[in-house]
C-alpha cells in the first residue's frame, strides 16, 4: 500500500512539474516589421536626389531573393531581431537580367523588437544617362520621411514575391502610418 502511494505521489509530482514547465515557456518572439519602398519617379523623385532613381529590380535579404520591387510600390516584411543584409541584383550598363545574381554591394541593418523600420530603395549611377554600373541602395529613413514619400504608393503584388518569401510578407493595403 505504501508503495502504491509512493508511486502515485511521484506520478502526480512529475505531472505537475511538467504542466508547470510547459506553462512557463516564453511566448514566441514578435517579428520586427520592416517596410521597404521604391519612390515613384512621377513624384519628382529624380530631381530630389541627383544621380539616383527609383529601384527597379529584385530585392535580396540575407542572401535570399525576396521578389521584384518596382517604382511606386512598397512591401512590409516580418523579420527576426538582429543583423540583416539588404541588396539588389547585379546589373551591368543599366541592363538587368531575369536571373541576375545578388549584388556584392550590400546594406547592413540592425533590427530590434519594439521598433518599426522604414527603408527607401533607390538605384544610384555615377554614369551618364544610366549607362555604367547600377548600385542598388537601401537607405534607412524615419517614419515621417517614409510616410511623406510613400503615402500614395501601392503594395507589391504577391505574384512578384518569391514563393518561399511569401510567409514574411505583411499584407497591407496602404502604406503604414507612423505610430501604428
Mean pLDDT of the chain: 80
Reading the block at residue 163, the C-alpha cell is 514563393
How do residues 32-91 score in pLDDT, each as one tens digit? 999 999 998 665 454 355 577 888 889 999 999 999 999 999 999 999 999 999 999 876
How do residues 124-153 score in pLDDT, each as one tens digit? 876 655 455 678 889 999 999 999 999 999
Give residue 33's pLDDT.
Answer: 95
Residue scoring higher pLDDT (123 or 132): 123
**Centroid of chain to Cα 146:** 15
C-alpha–C-alpha distance, residues 138 and 144, integer Å = 17
Please, are residues 144 and 61 in contact by the beta-carbon 8 Å criterion?
Answer: no
C-alpha–C-alpha distance, residues 59 and 87, integer Å = 6
Percentage of the chain modeled with pLDDT above 90: 50
Domain map of the chain by residue range? 32-170
**What's this model's pTM, rounded to 2 decimal places?**
0.75
Measured over the CA atoms of residue 132, residue 133, residue 138 and residue 141, the dihedral's sign is negative
Please, are residues 29 and 113 in contact by the beta-carbon 8 Å criterion?
Answer: yes
Give residue 47's pLDDT.
Answer: 39
Phi, psi (rounded to 5 degrees) for 149: -90, -25
* pLDDT over threshold 80, residue 109: yes
C-alpha–C-alpha distance, residues 69 and 155, integer Å = 10
Phi, psi (rounded to 5 degrees) for 159: -65, -15
Amino acid at each position: 500500500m505504501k508503495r502504491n502511494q509512493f508511486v502515485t505521489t511521484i506520478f502526480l509530482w512529475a505531472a505537475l512539474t511538467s504542466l508547470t514547465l510547459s506553462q512557463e515557456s516564453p511566448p514566441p518572439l514578435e517579428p520586427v516589421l520592416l517596410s521597404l519602398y521604391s519612390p515613384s519617379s512621377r513624384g519628382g523623385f529624380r530631381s530630389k536626389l541627383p544621380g539616383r532613381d527609383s529601384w527597379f529590380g529584385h530585392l535580396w535579404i540575407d542572401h535570399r531573393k525576396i521578389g521584384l520591387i518596382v517604382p511606386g510600390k512598397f512591401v512590409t516584411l516580418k523579420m527576426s531581431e538582429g543583423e540583416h543584409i539588404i541588396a539588389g541584383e547585379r546589373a551591368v550598363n543599366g541592363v538587368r537580367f531575369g536571373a541576375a545574381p545578388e549584388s556584392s554591394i550590400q546594406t547592413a541593418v540592425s533590427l530590434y523588437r519594439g521598433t518599426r523600420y522604414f527603408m527607401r530603395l533607390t538605384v544610384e549611377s555615377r554614369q551618364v544617362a544610366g549607362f555604367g554600373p547600377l548600385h542598388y541602395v537601401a537607405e534607412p529613413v524615419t517614419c515621417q520621411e517614409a510616410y511623406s514619400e510613400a503615402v500614395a504608393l501601392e503594395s507589391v503584388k504577391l505574384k512578384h514575391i518569391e514563393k518561399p518569401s511569401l510567409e514574411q510578407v505583411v499584407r497591407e493595403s496602404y502604406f503604414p502610418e507612423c505610430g501604428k
